[in-house]
Homo-oligomer: A and B are copies of this chain.
Amino acid sequence: MNAIPKRFGQIIRVKPEKLDDYIVLHKNPWPCVLERLDKSNIGNYSIFLAPGDLLFAYFEYFGQDLDADLRLIAEDPCTQKWWYETDPCQQSMDPDGKQQWLDLKEVFHMPAGNRG
């Protein structure tokens, strides 16, 4: 486990007609989905709704091998069922079409040592 996590910002578009479904799903996320994220060293995960039907995700990765941890998430039957519900709500903004959520470039971070 890393004391200082790697930070991720991501964006995706939500289909306006699916917004209510998306919000209801995420108000009561399935415990098995959360458990798989946790086991894959992902935490402090939030999603915000922005104008223009945009969703902005922020999470932190505390592990050492992100690719392996993401693969375990993708192979998890519970997560696959969850994505079967959520994917139709979303429209990827990844120009390469390789992943649902598009990773954003971090242009600022407040140094952690600054607090206290």
Contact = CB atoms under 8 A, between A and B. Distances in A.
Contact of A107 (B47, B59, B114): B47
A100 to B, nearest CB: 15
A52 B29 CA distance: 30
A82 interface: no
Contacts of A29: 108, 110
Contacts of A42: 110
Interface string A50-79: 111011101100100000000000000000
Given A11-B54, A56-B104, A58-B58, 6 more contacts: A9-B48, A11-B51, A23-B107, A35-B114, A38-B114, A45-B108
Interface of A: 7, 9, 11, 22-23, 26-27, 29, 34-35, 37-38, 42-52, 54-56, 58-59, 62, 93, 102, 104-112, 114-116
